[in-house]
Amino acid sequence: MKTAVEIRRHFASDNYAGICPEAWAALAEANQGHAVSYGDDSWTARAADLIREVFETPCEVFFVFNGTAANSLSLASTGQSYHSVLCHEFAHVETDECGAPEFFSNGMKVLQVPGTNGKIDPAGIERMVKKRSDIHYPKPRAVSLTQATEVGTVYSVEEVKAIRAKTKPLGLTLHMDGARFANAVASLSVKPKAITWQAGVDVLCFGGTKNGTPVGDAVVFFNRDLAEEFDYRCKQAGQLCSKMRFLSAPWVGLLQDGAWLRNAVRANAMAQRLHDALKEIPEIKILFPTQANAVFADLPPHVIVALRQAGWKFYTFIGQGGCRLMCAWDTTEDDVDRFVADLKRLLSEAPKEISLRAADHRKL
Ligand SMILES: *Cc1c(COP(=O)(O)O)cnc(C)c1O
């Protein structure tokens, strides 16, 4: 009996996408014979070396299962349980990790800093640090930036340096959540080193999953002192993969001939195409500059419901709300055009008065 499987690409998340061909091929190649376990294998050594090549610097590299672990464990390594981490109010570490940074650091508090377009206002860092110096306040120890941000914007090199100009004199470690780091590099057309260690980033969580691996993100310590005993932290947290070659081999596939950047360039270009189509529609308001692979837009509520009834999946709860339309490495021009065509048809057809229950609005 044959089961019909609908092949469709959505705009909900770049983690809806599958494994890109380059990562898949490397995974298949790694699946031959035996290899040493727990990361002492040649695939893991090669993947770490490729990361060092990409960043053009010696750095310590660790592979973990996901971004939440990468962020939480790397932030934990920046200080003690009584310290705090400053991040933007929309930051994934604050809004989408179920308290994992606090949990894995045994209590470090995450404190929010405001800023437009999902980016931390550098002045806010100093305010948060200087507003209290007494023992009753969790002492700020690190700043976490998200690059690209949760609302699809990108910090320029100058903006990262402006953050560093605040963190450095205040003795704060600079952490970068790079779940979509590739999209930021593609967007800025800069060398990876220019927006990381050369701009003062101490540790980067380099996202692979949304860029085309099946699973697994990398923690890259440019400040190698922070990496001390990080292997123990990973193991204790259940993040040391015994068959590590299957986490690391897809990275070799992504990095060895530049697939990671090609994937990001495509995803960004599709978001731009979507943005350009949506901005022509008067009923739609674009909420943030489209600088990476996401478009955020306000759509009339009845159209959101109708689009979902037509089978499209997208989120409406990220950042300040609005619809988040996320493109992936495999999003095509045709996907974008079909979505836009459905949207236009539903805008003209859908009844004007649909009462929108909160449940419908939030349904993925
Ligand atoms: C997806 C994402 C992560 C990682 O999430 P996991 O589900 O734990 O892999 C981290 N930060 C940002 C900004 C993300 O979008």
CATH code of residue 266 = 3.90.1150.10
- If asked whether residues 347 and 230 sit together in one domain, one would say no
Beta strands across the sheet bearing 323-326: 285-286, 294-298, 323-326
| Mean of pLDDT values over 164-179 | 98
CB 209 near ligand 1, within 6 Å? yes
Is position 13 within any domain?
A: no
- The rounded percent of the chain whose pLDDT value lies above 70 is 93
Ligand 1: residue whose CA is nearest its atom 14: 179
Cβ distance 77 to 102 under 8 Å? no
> Domain end: 255, 270, 288, which one?
255
Q: What does the pLDDT read at residue 309?
A: 93
Q: What does the pLDDT read at residue 323?
A: 95
Element (H, E) at 177: strand 173-178
Burial class for 24, CB neighbours closer than 10 Å (0-12, 13-18, 19+):
middle
CB 67 near ligand 1, within 6 Å? yes
- If asked whether residues 49 and 198 sit together in one domain, one would say yes
Q: What does the pLDDT read at residue 364?
A: 41
CB 93 near ligand 1, within 6 Å? no
- If asked whether residues 123 and 57 sit together in one domain, one would say yes
Residue 356 has pLDDT above 70, yes or no: no
| Mean of pLDDT values over 177-205 | 98
* Cα-to-centroid distance, 146 and ligand 1 (Å): 10
Is position 244 within any domain?
A: yes
Residue 111 has pLDDT above 70, yes or no: yes
Ligand 1: residue whose CA is nearest its atom 5: 67
180-215 burial: b if 16+ Cβ within 10 Å, else e: bbbbbbbbbebebeebbbbbbbbbbbbbbbbbbbeb
Query: Cα–Cα distance between 242 and 34 in angstroms, integer?
Result: 13
Is position 37 within any domain?
A: yes
Question: Number of folded domains in the chain?
Answer: 2
Q: What does the pLDDT read at residue 3?
A: 62
- If asked whether residues 210 and 325 sit together in one domain, one would say no
Neighbours of 62 (CB within 10 A): 23
Query: Cα–Cα distance between 11 and 308 in angstroms, integer?
Result: 11
* Cα-to-centroid distance, 180 and ligand 1 (Å): 8
- If asked whether residues 29 and 76 sit together in one domain, one would say yes
Q: What does the pLDDT read at residue 359?
A: 43
CB 83 near ligand 1, within 6 Å? no
Q: What does the pLDDT read at residue 351?
A: 64
CB 213 near ligand 1, within 6 Å? no
Residue 299 has pLDDT above 90, yes or no: yes
Is position 191 within any domain?
A: yes
User: Which of 85, 177, 183, 239 to probe ligand 1 with, by most ligand atoms within 8 A of CB?
Assistant: 177
Tell me, rounded to whole angstroms, the distance of Cα 3 from its chain centroid. Answer: 34
Q: Which atom of ligand 1 is nearest to the CA of 217?
A: 9
CA distances from 312 to 17, 249, 304, 339 (A): 14, 33, 9, 8
Residue 10 has pLDDT above 80, yes or no: yes
CB 153 near ligand 1, within 6 Å? no
- The rounded percent of the chain whose pLDDT value lies above 90 is 92
* Cα-to-centroid distance, 294 and ligand 1 (Å): 14
Is position 7 within any domain?
A: no
- Specify the higher pLDDT residue, 359 or 96: 96
State the chain's mean pLDDT as an integer: 94
Q: Model confidence at 1, in pLDDT bands (50, 70, 90)?
A: low
- If asked whether residues 69 and 127 sit together in one domain, one would say yes
Q: Model confidence at 318, in pLDDT bands (50, 70, 90)?
A: confident
What are 113's strand-pairing partners?
88
Q: Which atom of ligand 1 is nearest to the CA of 69?
A: 8
CA angle 144, 44, 238 (to 5 degrees): 60
Is position 57 within any domain?
A: yes
> Domain end: 255, 280, 315, which one?
255
362: Cβ–Cβ under 8 A, 6 or more apart, which residues? 316, 317
* Cα-to-centroid distance, 205 and ligand 1 (Å): 10
- If asked whether residues 221 and 82 sit together in one domain, one would say yes
> Domain end: 255, 270, 297, which one?
255
Q: What does the pLDDT read at residue 363?
A: 42
- If asked whether residues 112 and 243 sit together in one domain, one would say yes
CB 68 near ligand 1, within 6 Å? yes
- If asked whether residues 61 and 190 sit together in one domain, one would say yes
- If asked whether residues 272 and 349 sit together in one domain, one would say yes
Q: Model confidence at 4, in pLDDT bands (50, 70, 90)?
A: low
Is position 48 within any domain?
A: yes
Q: Is the bond preceding residue 100 a cis peptide, omega within 30 degrees?
A: no
- If asked whether residues 51 and 178 sit together in one domain, one would say yes
* Cα-to-centroid distance, 61 and ligand 1 (Å): 18
| Mean of pLDDT values over 268-295 | 97
* Cα-to-centroid distance, 67 and ligand 1 (Å): 5
Segments of 211-283 assigned E as strands? 217-221
Domain with 283 in it: 259-363
Neighbours of 81 (CB within 10 A): 12
* Cα-to-centroid distance, 33 and ligand 1 (Å): 33
56: Cβ–Cβ under 8 A, 6 or more apart, which residues? 191, 192, 193
